[in-house]
């Protein structure tokens, strides 16, 4: 089979080729591209039986151009960038890399909580400008109530880290789970009681716009939102308005309605008390190495 890596997945070509040694020894043709060029995806995937990539959208036009395609090994957790209906219709297997970024995203979530509370970005800017005084005082996350929306692997790891910092943790999930130290509540209770709301839910038709203006109105004026899940689970315009009019105190985001770079008219760019990161939650050396092993193993299992 022809196996095409449309991008190097944050690693070297040599590292990927080494991980694919067993596939090569079995006679499979492994092609690895050294850069990420979405506009060349169709050209690069020509004749491929299996395609490996992370979060570049693969829609019907791509699938139309790849009649030999039998499998997509996606080096990402979410699959909302893949035309799953078309893949199902064409009998193309799609496998994700579940679990590779659990630690990375959970740690980033805590990082954003502390960053908001201690005004890290603003104080760094003040220091670099060599003028003005620090923004003081900040706040401590110890003793605060952290409400986690979505208690999959990442949500549970975030809960454990938050508890280590001395936080009380409550959670909402579609189904209740037994998680040590976590109290499950309904959505309204979570929003009313939380000092920090952290989102870790997948994006689907039910969770799109999961938080809108009416939800922000339930929250404490001192509360902040941290979103390391998917951008569209929070209504962007409503969030920007809630920040501007003081309905809530702040927001830290690593995900948006579309991948960065953001458009210049994005209302969050002018919203106060925000930390805006360029979708880096999954991006650690450890996570990249782990996901390479997962995507290659998924391919190996398929070709058997």
Q: Contact at 8 Å (CB) between 74 and 298?
A: no
Clarify whether 230 is annotated catalytic: yes
* CA within 13 Å, CB half, 299: 32
Closest CA to 117 of 40, 226, 227, 214: 226
Given 86, 103, 241, 259, the catalytic residue: 259
Question: Cα separations (Å) of 62 from 66, 89, 190?
Answer: 6, 14, 42
Collapsed DSSP state (helix, strand, coil) of residue 196: strand
The rounded distance, in Å, linking the Cα atoms of 123 and 269 is 18
Q: What is 208-219 written as a DSSP string?
A: TT-B-HHHHTTS
Active site residues: 230, 259, 279
């Amino acid at each position: 089979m022809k196996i095409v890596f449309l991008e190097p997945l944050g690693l070297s070509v040599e590292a990927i080729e080494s991980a694919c040694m067993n596939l090569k020894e079995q006679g499979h043709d492994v092609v690895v591209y050294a850069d990420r060029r979405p506009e060349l995806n169709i050209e690069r995937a020509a004749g491929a039986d299996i395609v490996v990539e992370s979060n570049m959208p693969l829609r019907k036009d791509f699938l139309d151009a790849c009649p030999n395609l039998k499998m997509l090994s996606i080096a990402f957790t979410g699959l909302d960038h893949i035309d799953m209906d078309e893949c199902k219709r064409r009998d193309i297997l799609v496998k994700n890399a579940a679990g590779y970024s659990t630690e990375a995203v959970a740690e980033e979530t805590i990082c954003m909580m502390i960053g908001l509370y201690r005004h890290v970005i603003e104080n760094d800017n003040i220091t670099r400008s060599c003028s003005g005084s620090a923004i003081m005082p900040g706040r401590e996350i110890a003793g605060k109530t952290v409400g986690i929306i979505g208690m999959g692997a990442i949500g549970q790891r975030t809960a454990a880290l938050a508890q280590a910092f001395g936080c009380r943790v409550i959670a909402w999930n579609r189904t209740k789970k037994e998680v040590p130290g976590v109290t499950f509540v309904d959505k309204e209770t979570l929003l009313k009681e939380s000092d920090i709301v952290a989102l870790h839910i997948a994006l689907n038709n039910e969770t799109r716009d999961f938080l809108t203006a009416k939800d922000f109105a339930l929250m404490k004026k001192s509360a902040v939102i941290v979103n390391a899940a998917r951008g569209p689970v929070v209504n962007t315009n409503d969030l920007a308005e809630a920040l501007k009019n003081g309905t809530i105190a702040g927001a830290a985001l690593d995900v948006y309605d579309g991948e960065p770079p953001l458009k210049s008219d994005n209302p969050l760019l002018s919203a106060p008390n925000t930390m805006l990161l360029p979708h880096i939650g999954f991006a650690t050396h450890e996570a990249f190495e782990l996901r390479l092993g997962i995507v290659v193993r998924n391919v190996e299992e398929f070709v058997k």
